[in-house]
C-alpha cells in the first residue's frame, strides 16, 4: 500500500536503478560484480555512481567472473569493509562454493539476486531456481514483492546481517525482469534517514597487522561440528531481528513490507494461497475478486525463506481449511517446490491439521495468469471439502509439447 | 659474521613434514615481506599444517578461503584497505602452491593481475598436488612420476613439460616477476621484499622441492633445490616490465642426472629401457634454459 505521505516523494525509475541507489545509500566500501542478464542494469548504475564520485570511500572491482566477484568480497569483508554484489542464475550457481565459505567465515556480505531460471535449456527469464538452489549455503534469503521492497530491504538486511550476534551473509531476491526492468513509482532511500537507521559496520574480528588473526582455519572432526551449530544458532537469532529491522524501518521510513511473513486478508481466510516474490501481486488481485464475491480467501507472503519462519507460518495458516503453495522452483525428483515442502514439514509435528497442496509454476518466465491462479484456488476449495487428490503438480503445462 | 637473519612471522610447532618446503617458503616470504602484511593462502598443505583450529602458526593476519580464489580474495583485501584508507601502511601477500596458482586458481589470479591490484603473489612450486597425495599438476615436469602419471609399459611418467607460468604472469604487464628457490633464502627474501615494495601486482615463483612427493631424505630439501638451479633446470631471473633484468649465473652447470638421480620420482628413468633417451630430453631443456636465459 502506498503511504499517502510518500506520494510527493515518489519518482518513476527502473527497478534496477532503485536497487543500485539503495546500495549506494547503504555506503558500501567494496562492490564487486560480473555482468549477467538481468542483473546488468544494477551494476551499470552503480558503476556510473562510482564514475561520478557519488559513493565515498568505495572501491568497485570489475572482476572476471562471479566466482571472483564473491571471493573478492570475502577478502574485503574480512578486512572490515561493507560489501555488495548483485548476480543471478548461472552467476549465482558459479558462486555456490564461495557462498558456503562466506557464511562459514561469518562474513555479512550482502547481494541482490535478480532471480532467473538456470540452464539447460538456457533461459534468461524469471523463476526462483537459482536462489532456491542456494538455500543450504547459510545465507539469509529475503524474497521481495515489488521494487520499493527490493530497495527498502537492502538496509534492513545489512542491519540484520552485520549484527554482532548474527554475522551471516544475506541475499535480497527480486524477480528478474519483472522487477529489475520494470519502471515503477518508488521513494528512493534518503541518505540521512538511512544513516540514522543503519549504523556503520564495526565487526569484532578483522584482518589487521596490529592484532593478527587467523581467518578460515582448518577444523578437524573434533571442532567442525560446533562451527555448523553456531551458524544455525545465528540463523535462529536472525528470525526476531528480521522482524525488528522491518518494524524499525517502518518507524523511520513509514513503509512496511512484512517481517518474516506478511498476510493479506488472512484473518478469516478459509483458503490461503502462499508464495514468494512478485507473483504475490497477481495473487492479491485474484483474491480481491474472490473477496468481492464474499469468498474467504487470503494470501500469505513468505518474505524470509532462510531462516524459515516456522512459528509464523504455523500461526498464519492454523485456522485455514486448506492451503495452496505456489513455487517458482522445483526439487527435481520430489515433484515439489521448496516452499511447499517446508510448509508441510513445519506442520507435521504440530497439532495443526490443514491440507496443503503445491503447484510448481512459472518456470523459465512463463506468465502466471489470473485465470490460472483462480483455477488453483478452485482446486484448493475442492481439497478443503473432499481431501487432496493431487498433492503437487506443474501448472499450465503445454501437453501438446510433451 | 654474516648479517643476522630477519625475523619471521610463522612459528614452529606446525604439523608440516620434516624438511617441508612450504614451511621454508612461508618463512622466507614473511622474512621478506615483514610484519605489516595480510597473508592470503589458498587451500593446500601450508594452510592445513599451519592452522588446525584453535591453533595457528601465523603471527600476521591470515585468511584462507578456497583452493581457487586467492587472486580474487587478495583483490578484495587490497580494495578494502584502499577504501578504508589503510593501503599505504599494509602490504598484501598471497602464497599458494602450484595447483592453486597454475591450475585451478589461474582465472582468479589472471583477473587480479589484469586489474592491477597492488599485491604480491608467491607461488610455492613443488610440482604436483602434494596435499592430496602427489597427483600431477601443470607444474609437474616432464617424465616425473606422480600418482596420476605413473610410469608403465607405455609411459615414462608425466607426458608434458611444465607450464611456463612466469611468462604468463609477465604477459599480464606485471611490473615485477621473478623466479627464486627455497634453496637460496636470501635471494627469495630479497625478491619478495622487492615485490612488495613495487606498486602493482608482482609475482614470485619459488621452486620448492617436496621431500614426500619427490622422494628424497628429509635433510636434503635445500640441497635438492640447489641442484635444480645448478643443473639449469630451474633458472633464476627477474623481469621488470616484461624485460629480463637479472639472471643468476651458473658457472659450471652440472648434468641433469645429478638432480634426477636423487629423487624417487625420476628413479624409473634409470631403470627402464629407453630411460637414457628420456634423460637426454630433460638435458635438452636445461641446455635451452642456459641459452635462452644466458645462464653461463
Q: Which pLDDT does position A2 carry in this prediction?
A: 67
B24-58 pLDDT per residue, tens: 999 999 999 999 999 999 999 999 999 999 999 99
Residue pairs between chains A and B whose CB atoms are closer than 8 Å: 163
A62 touches chain B (CB under 8 A): yes
Q: Looking at residues B3-7, what average pLDDT do you find?
A: 81
A63 touches chain B (CB under 8 A): yes
| Pick from A62, A75, A217: CB nearest B80 | A75
If pLDDT is split at 50, 70 and 90, which confidence band does B140 have? very high
A42-99 pLDDT per residue, tens: 999 999 999 999 999 999 999 999 999 999 999 999 999 999 999 999 999 999 999 9
A373-393 pLDDT per residue, tens: 999 999 999 999 999 999 999
A183-227 pLDDT per residue, tens: 999 999 999 999 999 999 999 999 999 999 999 999 999 999 999
ipTM above 0.90, yes or no: yes
Q: A384: alpha, beta or left, given left = phi > 0 and alpha = psi -120 to 50?
A: alpha
A54 touches chain B (CB under 8 A): no
Q: Looking at residues A294-315, what average pLDDT do you find?
A: 98
Q: Which pLDDT does position B113 carry in this prediction?
A: 98
Closest residue in chain B to residue A83, using alpha carbons only: B80
Indicate whether B6 pLDDT > 90: no
Q: Looking at residues B86-115, what average pLDDT do you find?
A: 97
Closest residue in chain A to residue B112, using alpha carbons only: A63
| Pick from A62, A78, A214: CB nearest B56 | A214
Closest residue in chain A to residue B76, using alpha carbons only: A72
Closest residue in chain B to residue A34, using alpha carbons only: B111
A95-122 pLDDT per residue, tens: 999 999 999 999 999 999 999 999 999 9
Indicate whether A137 pLDDT > 80: yes
B258-291 pLDDT per residue, tens: 999 999 999 999 999 999 999 999 999 999 999 9
- Its sign, for the CA torsion B165, B98, B193, A72, is positive
Rounded to the nearest 10°, the torsion over CA A103, A105, A109, A113 is -30
Contact A212 B66 (CB under 8 A): no
A256-300 pLDDT per residue, tens: 999 999 999 999 999 999 999 999 999 999 999 999 999 999 999
Indicate whether B1 pLDDT > 60: no
A73 touches chain B (CB under 8 A): yes
| Pick from A71, A217, A219: CB nearest B76 | A71
* Mean pLDDT value across chain A: 97
How far B106 CA sits from the closest chain A CA (Å)? 11
Indicate whether A361 pLDDT > 90: yes
Q: Which pLDDT does position A3 carry in this prediction?
A: 75
How far B93 CA sits from the closest chain A CA (Å)? 12
Contact A30 B48 (CB under 8 A): no
Contact A209 B59 (CB under 8 A): no
Q: Which pLDDT does position A1 carry in this prediction?
A: 58
- C-alpha triplet B230, B236, B239: angle, nearest 5°: 165
Q: Looking at residues A144-172, what average pLDDT do you find?
A: 98
Contact A65 B111 (CB under 8 A): yes
Contact B54 A208 (CB under 8 A): no
- pTM over 0.90, yes/no: yes
A105 touches chain B (CB under 8 A): yes
Using DSSP's 3-state secondary structure scheme, residue A164 falls into: coil
Exposure string over A229-251, b if 16+ CB within 10 A, otherwise e: eebeebbeebbebbbebbeebee
Indicate whether A238 pLDDT > 80: yes
Contact A220 B68 (CB under 8 A): no
Indicate whether B3 pLDDT > 80: no
Amino acid at each position: 500500500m502506498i503511504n499517502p505521505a510518500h506520494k510527493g516523494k515518489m519518482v518513476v525509475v527502473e527497478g534496477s536503478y532503485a536497487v543500485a541507489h539503495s546500495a549506494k545509500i547503504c555506503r558500501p566500501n567494496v562492490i564487486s560484480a560480473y555482468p549477467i542478464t538481468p542483473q546488468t542494469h544494477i551494476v551499470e548504475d552503480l558503476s556510473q555512481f562510482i564514475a561520478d564520485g557519488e559513493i565515498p570511500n568505495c572501491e568497485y572491482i570489475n572482476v572476471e567472473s562471479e566466482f571472483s566477484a564473491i571471493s573478492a568480497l570475502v577478502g574485503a569483508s574480512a578486512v572490515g569493509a561493507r560489501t555488495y554484489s548483485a548476480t543471478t542464475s548461472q552467476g549465482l550457481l558459479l558462486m555456490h562454493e564461495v557462498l558456503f565459505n562466506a557464511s562459514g567465515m561469518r562474513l555479512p556480505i550482502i547481494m541482490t539476486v535478480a532471480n532467473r531460471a538456470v540452464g539447460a535449456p538456457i533461459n534468461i527469464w524469471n523463476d526462483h531456481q537459482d536462489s532456491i538452489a542456494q538455500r543450504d549455503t547459510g545465507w539469509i534469503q529475503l524474497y521481495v514483492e515489488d521494487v520499493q521492497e527490493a530497495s527498502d530491504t537492502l538496509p534492513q538486511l545489512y542491519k540484520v546481517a552485520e549484527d554482532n550476534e548474527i554475522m551471516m551473509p544475506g541475499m535480497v531476491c527480486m524477480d528478474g525482469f519483472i522487477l529489475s526492468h520494470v519502471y515503477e513509482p518508488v521513494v528512493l532511500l534518503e541518505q540521512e534517514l538511512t544513516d540514522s537507521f543503519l549504523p556503520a559496520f564495526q565487526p569484532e574480528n578483522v584482518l589487521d597487522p596490529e592484532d593478527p588473526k587467523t581467518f578460515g582455519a582448518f577444523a578437524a572432526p573434533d571442532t567442525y561440528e560446533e562451527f555448523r551449530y553456531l551458524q544455525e544458532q545465528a540463523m535462529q537469532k536472525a528470525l526476531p531481528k528480521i522482524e525488528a529491522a522491518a518494524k524499525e524501518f517502518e518507524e523511520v521510513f513509514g513503509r512496511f513490507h512484512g517481517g518474516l511473513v506478511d498476510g493479506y486478508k488472512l484473518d478469516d481466510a478459509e483458503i490461503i494461497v502462499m508464495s514468494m516474490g512478485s507473483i504475490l501481486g497477481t495473487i492479491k488481485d485474484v483474491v480481491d475478486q474472490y473477496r468481492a464475491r464474499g469468498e474467504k480467501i487470503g494470501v500469505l507472503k513468505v518474505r524470509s525463506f532462510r531462516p524459515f519462519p516456522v512459528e509464523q507460518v504455523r500461526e498464519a495458516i492454523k485456522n485455514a481449511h486448506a492451503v495452496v503453495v505456489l513455487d517458482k522452483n522445483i526439487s527435481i525428483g520430489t515433484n515439489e517446490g521448496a516452499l511447499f515442502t517446508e510448509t508441510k514439514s513445519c506442520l507435521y509435528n504440530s497439532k495443526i491439521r490443514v491440507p496443503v497442496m503445491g503447484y510448481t509454476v512459472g518456470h523459465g518466465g512463463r506468465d502466471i495468469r489470473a485465470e490460472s491462479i483462480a483455477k488453483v484456488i478452485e482446486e484448493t476449495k475442492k481439497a478443503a471439502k473432499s481431501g487432496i487428490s493431487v498433492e503437487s503438480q506443474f501448472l499450465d503445462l503445454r501437453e501438446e509439447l510433451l | 659474521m654474516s648479517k643476522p637473519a630477519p625475523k619471521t612471522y610463522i612459528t614452529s610447532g606446525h604439523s608440516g613434514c620434516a624438511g617441508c618446503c612450504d614451511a621454508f617458503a612461508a618463512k622466507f616470504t614473511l622474512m621478506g615481506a615483514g610484519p605489516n602484511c595480510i597473508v592470503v593462502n589458498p587451500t593446500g598443505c601450508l594452510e592445513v599444517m599451519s592452522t588446525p583450529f584453535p591453533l595457528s602458526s601465523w603471527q600476521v593476519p591470515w585468511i584462507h578461503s578456497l583452493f581457487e580464489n586467492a587472486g580474487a580474495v587478495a583483490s578484495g583485501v587490497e580494495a578494502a584497505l584502499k577504501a578504508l584508507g589503510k593501503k599505504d601502511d599494509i602490504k598484501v601477500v598471497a602464497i599458494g602452491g602450484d595447483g592453486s596458482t597454475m591450475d585451478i586458481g589461474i582465472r582468479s589470479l589472471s583477473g587480479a593481475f589484469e586489474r592491477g591490484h597492488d599485491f604480491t603473489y608467491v607461488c610455492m612450486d613443488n610440482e604436483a598436488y602434494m596435499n592430496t597425495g602427489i597427483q600431477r599438476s601443470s607444474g609437474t615436469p616432464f617424465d616425473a612420476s606422480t600418482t596420476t602419471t605413473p610410469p608403465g609399459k607405455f609411459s615414462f611418467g608425466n607426458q608434458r613439460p611444465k607450464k611456463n607460468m612466469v611468462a604468463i604472469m609477465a604477459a599480464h604487464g606485471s611490473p615485477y616477476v621473478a623466479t627464486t628457490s627455497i634453496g637460496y633464502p636470501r635471494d627469495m627474501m630479497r625478491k619478495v621484499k622487492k615485490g612488495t615494495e613495487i606498486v602493482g601486482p608482482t609475482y614470485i615463483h619459488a621452486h620448492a622441492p617436496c621431500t614426500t612427493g619427490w622422494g628424497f631424505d628429509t635433510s636434503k630439501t635445500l640441497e635438492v633445490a640447489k641442484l635444480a638451479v645448478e643443473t639449469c633446470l630451474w633458472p633464476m631471473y627477474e623481469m621488470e616490465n616484461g624485460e629480463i633484468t637479472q639472471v643468476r649465473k651458473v658457472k659450471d652447470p652440472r648434468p641433469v642426472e645429478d638432480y634426477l638421480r636423487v629423487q624417487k620420482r625420476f628413479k624409473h628413468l634409470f631403470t627402464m629401457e629407453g630411460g637414457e633417451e628420456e634423460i637426454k630430453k630433460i638435458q635438452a631443456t636445461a641446455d635451452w634454459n642456459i641459452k635462452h636465459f644466458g645462464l653461463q
